[in-house]
Amino acid sequence: MNTLRVLLMLAWRNLWRNHRRTFIMLAAISVGVWAMIFMTALTQGMVNEMVKDGVSALPGHVQVHHPNYRDDPNINNLIPMADTELSAKFAAAGFEQWASRIKVPAVITSERESRGVTLLGIDPNRERDLTFVDYEDIDGRFLEDEADKGVVIGRKLAETLDTDVGKRIVIMSQDPKNDIADRGFRVVGLFGANMQSLEETYVFAGKQTIQKLLSVGDHVTELVAMGDDYRNVEPVYEKVVKLVDDSVVVNRWFELDSYLGTMLRVMDGFVLIWVVVIFLALSFGLVNTLVMAVFERVREIGLMLALGMKPSSILGQIIIESMLLLVIGLAIGNVLAVASIAPLNSGIDISIVAEGMEMMGSASVLYPQLRMEDVILANVVVLILGFFASLSPAWRASRFQPIEAITRVD
Amino acid sequence: MVQRSMAMRNILITALVMLPLVSGAENPDASQIVRDAVNHWRGVASYSEMTMVIHRPDWERAMSMQAWTKGDDKSLVRVIEPKKDRGNGTLTDGNSMWTFSPKVNRVIKIPSSLMGQSWMGSDFSNKDVAKADDIIDQYDHSLLSVSEEDELTIYEIQSVPHEEAAVVWGREVLRIREDHVVLNHSFYDQDGELVKSLESLEIGEMGGRTVAMRQRMGEVDAPDEWTEIRIDAVDYDVDIRDNLFTLSNLRNPRE
């Protein structure tokens, strides 16, 4: 115990013998650590937004479909169980959020244009917290209940169709008998979304109205349930599986949107790679510093060995010196990172590159996300790898022959 | 501005209310006039030969076709000329529509997503062809004015689609002559702006009836793009068997 204290003191004092070199090394480590954490926070923020947007662009966390629906989202692939019966079960099961809806491809036509869209027959009260649509940010009004006879379309779509709130449009789709189901609807509201593609793709109408239009009685194509965290959907998944029979399939969001699911996994891996790459660059500086420190002190180390200090203590002394350097660097780096992320919490406007980001499925405001796991990961990786990097110079120092070392002439 | 449009509307409403009084004893029923016109044009059953001319600023092409109709909702159209399109056919039955092309040797049911698309490259949409007589029951008809031309009464009728009708137009205005010939069919958007119109350019005697022999469909925004239908011959009240309007007959013509 006593040796350790002595070693610690020796290492600490050695560190400040050439304080300029130490400061330079500290600066390098701090900037490196800052870059690790800051960039990780940015990437995580981006992925987080993408997943949240992706999940609110309707998959929810867990969905129930007819087994064929995902391959062929047409109205024939209805959930076989009646909606009222299922809804009652879901309501009793106590989900954070859940909803049942009809989701089919349709064509929307105005006097001048027609476009292919995804028609959603929803219960607006159930969907409030599920969708990407902000009910307060609607030109006109949102749907009032599931029997609402109006439709709500995106602002961009309204522009393309040259229509507006209060005008009529025609929606055409197919009923289960393959006959054309069409009807005039009055546009009651326009919604905005953070991605143009959402405004162009989705058309909302009342669930009952759509059920009647498509003559599907009391059936829906999709059930969706939400838990409280998109990274942990298993509890919701298991709960849903218990509620339905095997005439339907249950999927988690990362199966429904495998691009997003893969993205999340890739990004988690990417964080580690990023940290390691920065560390590799850092380690050259670190090893170089230690080698120099040892090189300068050959005679001194020889003397210590001659006086009876064990080689393992020499080893420990150098490693402790390196660890002290890293810990101070990490501390400064962490503080820097937190300090530089905090003012950006309200989001970074990257709308200059919005179009490109949208292709990736990301919105044009970036919220950096500082996650404890990532910070710990960066610190632990730096410490462990730093330990291994300093082994080699320390090992060499501990193997000096005392006589040779003392008598060495530089 | 608001004041003026209010005033305009008042005048319009007054005019509408007054009309039946003005037109006097006959008191023509607008929807009856429309119904008569559709029946007159189509008959119980008909066989016709016609030419469709599609005109664009830099090209024009003509297609000659045979058409059969029966009742309210059955029709079959088959292309004869030009040679490369020969045998292309369209069958409608109720709201459904199928096309057949000998080149791909396949009958295709027109899905709802294509109903708004153009029919054989013309200015008519598939929907125009399949649902030509929706005009009777999907609209509220009212008489706008009655005028006289060449000793024939002309009724101007405004047709406003029902709230839930699958029609995008704000209103349509038909000018129908007392011998049931539709002189003009205009489509207005919901701001009251004229978008496209179908006009009868030539009217004559054919198959024992007075019909529009040359009709032109065109959009207001593109005056040099239009499609003309010219009736070359028509035979009304012919005996047409129901099995003419089947998918197998669309594929393999029997007559």
| pTM, rounded to two decimals | 0.70
Q: Which residue of B has its CA nearest to A163?
A: B190
Q: Are B95 and B131 in contact (CB under 8 A)?
A: yes
Residue A154: pLDDT above 60? Answer: yes
Residue A94 has pLDDT above 70, yes or no: yes
Give how far A151 is from chain B: nearest CA, Å: 12
pLDDT digits (tens, 9 = 90+) for A373-408: 888 888 998 899 889 988 988 998 888 888 888 887
Report residue B19's pLDDT band, with 50, 70 and 90 as the boundaries: very low
> What average pLDDT score do residues A341-358 get?
72
User: How do the domains of chain B map onto residue ranges?
Assistant: 2-251
pLDDT computed for residue B8 by the predictor: 53
Taking the CA of residue B195 and the nearest CA in chain A, the distance in Å comes to 8
**Residue environment code for B152-170, b if the CB has 16+ CB neighbours within 10 A, otherwise e:** eebbbbbbbbeebbbbbbb
Query: Which residue in A116, A172, A179 is closest to B96 by CB distance?
Result: A179
pLDDT (tens digit per residue) in A30-60? 998 898 888 888 888 888 877 777 776 666 7
Per-residue pLDDT, B255:
55
Which residues 122-181 of A are in CB contact (within 8 Å) with B? 149, 163, 167-170, 172-174, 178-181
Inspect the interface and report whether the beta carbons of A179 and B167 lie closer than 8 Å: no
| Rounded-to-10 torsion of CA A12, A15, A20, A23 | -70
Judged against a pLDDT cut of 50, whether residue A336 lies above it is answered with: yes
Complex prediction ipTM: 0.74
Residue B113: list chain A partners with CB under 8 A: 105-107, 116, 172
| Cβ–Cβ under 8 Å, residues A253 and A233 | yes
- CB of B57 within 8 Å of a chain A CB? The answer is no
Q: Which of B70, B38, B66 is nearest to B51 (CA)?
A: B66
pLDDT confidence of residue A21: 87
Is the Cβ pair A168, B190 closer than 8 Å?
Answer: yes
Cα nearest neighbour of A180 on chain B: B112
Question: Could you give the C-alpha distances from A76 to A69, A104, A108, A178, in angstroms and in order?
Answer: 8, 10, 20, 9
Nearest CA in chain B to A116: B113
What pLDDT is attached to residue B23? 43
Give the pLDDT confidence of B182-192 residue by residue, as tens digits: 888 898 988 88
pLDDT at A332: 93
Q: Three-state secondary structure along chain A?
A: CHHHHHHHHHHHHHHCCCHHHHHHHHHHHHHHHHHHHHHHHHHHHHHHHHHHHHHHCCCCCEEEECCCCCCCCCCCCCCCCCHHHHHHHHHHHCCCEEEEEEEEEEEEECCCCEEEEEEEEECHHHHCCCCCCCCCCEEECCCCCCCCCEEEEEHHHHHHHCCCCCCEEEEEEECCCCCEEEEEEEEEEEECCCCHHHHHHEEEEEHHHHHHHCCCCCCCCEEEEECCCCCCCHHHHHHHHHHCCCCCEEEEHHHHCHHHHHHHHHHHHHHHHHHHHHHHHHHHHHHHHHHHHHHHCHHHHHHHHHCCCCHHHHHHHHHHHHHHHHHHHHHHHHHHHHHHHHHHCCCEECHHHHHHHHHCCCCCEECCCCCHHHHHHHHHHHHHHHHHHHHHHHHHHHCCCHHHHHHCCC
Contact call for A111 and B164, based on CB within 8 A: no
User: Of B112, B162, B190, which has the smallest distance from its Cβ to A107's Cβ?
Assistant: B112
> Mean pLDDT throughout B111-119?
78
Nearest to B112 among A110, A182, A186 (CB): A182
CB pairs under 8 A between A and B: 66
Q: CB contact, 8 Å: A215 with chain B?
A: no
How close A210 gets to chain B, by Cα (Å)? 13
**B192 at A interface, C-beta within 8 A:** no
- Name the class of domain B2-251: mainly beta
Subunit contact B116:A173, Cβ cutoff 8 A: no
Which among A32, A48, A49 has a CA at the least distance from the CA of A378?
A: A32
Which tens digits make up the pLDDT trace of B193-204?
Answer: 898 888 888 888
Contact A170 B166 (CB under 8 A): yes
Tell me the nearest-neighbour CA distance from B169 into chain A, angstroms. 6
| CB contacts, 8 Å: B126 with chain A | none
Looking at residue B255, the DSSP 8-state letter turns out to be: -
Residue B195 sits at the chain A interface (C-beta within 8 Å): yes
Of B109, B111, B167, the CB nearest to A184: B167
Provide the pLDDT for residue B64: 92
Task: Return d(Cα B47, Cα B240) in angstroms, integer.
Answer: 9
What is the b/e burial string over B10-19, where b = at least 16 CB atoms within 10 angstroms of the residue's CB? eeeeeeeeeb
| pLDDT tens digits, B130-181 | 766 677 778 888 888 888 888 888 888 888 888 888 888 888 898 888 888 8
Percent of chain A predicted with pLDDT > 70: 95
Checking if the pLDDT of B21 tops 60, the result is no
Average pLDDT, chain B: 80
Cβ separation A179–B168 shorter than 8 A: no
Say whether residue B6 is in contact with chain A using an 8 A CB cutoff. no
pLDDT tens by residue, B29-74:
888 888 888 888 777 788 889 899 999 999 888 999 988 888 777 8
Q: What is the pLDDT of residue A330?
A: 92
pLDDT of residue B11: 52
B106 part of contact set with chain A, CB < 8 Å: no
Contact list, B192 vs chain A (CB under 8 Å): none
Query: What is the DSSP track for B43-77?
Result: -SEEEEEEEEEEEETTEEEEEEEEEEEETTTEEEE
The helix-helix angle for A372-398 and A258-296 (nearest 10°) equals 30
